[in-house]
Amino acid sequence: QVQLQESGPGLVKPSETLSLTCIVSGGSISSYHWTWIRQPPGKGLECMGNIYYSGNTNYNPSLKSRVTMSVDTSKNQFSLKLTSVTAADTAVYYCVRGQREGYFDPWGQGTLVTVSS
């Protein structure tokens, strides 16, 4: 059974770069697409973008200038970088496996990242 686990700093200063990694266990990363979804406190879900095991990416247009995703098939993990963060980027960040049919399953447990000085 595939499991995903996010890791990274829980606190990032404004204007700095948020970096998270998602380790995939119980299955190979070398198929499907892999997605980052975030949820600000008390708000809804936002798809930030996805990366295929080949390295091809699709980013949310609203974040495109600040987002970079990468994949390391040798470590079975993928990563997110978000630059120039502000308080509006405070959210729980989930890494998720995207299915060919367009749905997301499974989800990581999520990690709260707070942007504050």
Partner 1 sequence: QSVLTQPPSVSGAPGQRVTISCTGSSSNIGADFDVHWYQQLPGTAPKLLIYGNSNRPSGVPDRFSGSKSGTSASLAITGLQADDEADYYCQSYDNSLSGWVFGGGTKLTVL
> By the criterion CB under 8 A, which residues form the site for partner 1?
35, 44-47, 49, 58, 60-61, 94, 98-99, 101-110
Which is closer to partner 1, CB of 19 or CB of 39?
39
CB of 108 to partner 1, least distance (A): 7
Q: Among residues 74 and 103, whose Cβ is nearest to partner 1?
A: 103
The rounded distance, in Å, linking the Cα atoms of 114 and 23 is 21
Start-to-end CA distance of the chain, whole Å, equals 39
CA-nearest of 27, 9, 10 to 77 is: 27
Q: Which is nearer to partner 1, 47 or 73 (CB)?
A: 47
What helix, strand, coil percent values describe the chain, rounded to 5?
A: 5, 50, 45
